[in-house]
Amino acid sequence: MNRAGYLKAAAVVLVLFAIGLVGYFAFSAAFPDGLERVMENNGVEEGEPFYTAPLNYGEDYWGALIAGMIGFALTFGLVYLYLKGMKARNKA
């Protein structure tokens, strides 16, 4: 497979991952995970967090979804620039 084929395959995988992540987030947000279920069953309340994130991701679905998409795009862009720089360095 040539380079264009690998790039298309990588793009398809990334898009499918992004779509799957949105679906997973929508499904998992409504149901408690294992720790939350044990806490509910034993009547334990969640305490105050010892650290808060510098940005507010929101409590609603759309706010968290947009924050996730921005984070995904930033991570993808940084990895792309890093790999592009490594390619240029290897040519020199």
What would the pLDDT profile of 19-70 be if each residue is shown by its tens digit? 888 888 777 777 777 888 888 899 888 888 887 777 666 677 787 788 888 9
Residue 74: domain span: 58-92
As a whole number of Å, the CA-based R_g of the chain is: 19
Q: Name the band, by pLDDT with cuts 50, 70 and 90, for residue 16.
A: very high
What the block records as the tokens of 47 is 């305490």
Q: Are residues 24 and 68 in the same domain?
A: no
End-to-end CA distance of the chain: 26
Q: Are residues 37 and 4 in the same domain?
A: yes
Q: Are residues 36 and 63 in the same domain?
A: no
Q: How many independent structural domains does the chain possess?
A: 2
Q: Which of 51, 52, 57 is nearest to 70 (CA)?
A: 57
Q: Are residues 39 and 68 in the same domain?
A: no
Can you tell me the distance from the alpha carbon of 40 to that of 18, in angstroms, rounded to the nearest whole number? 31
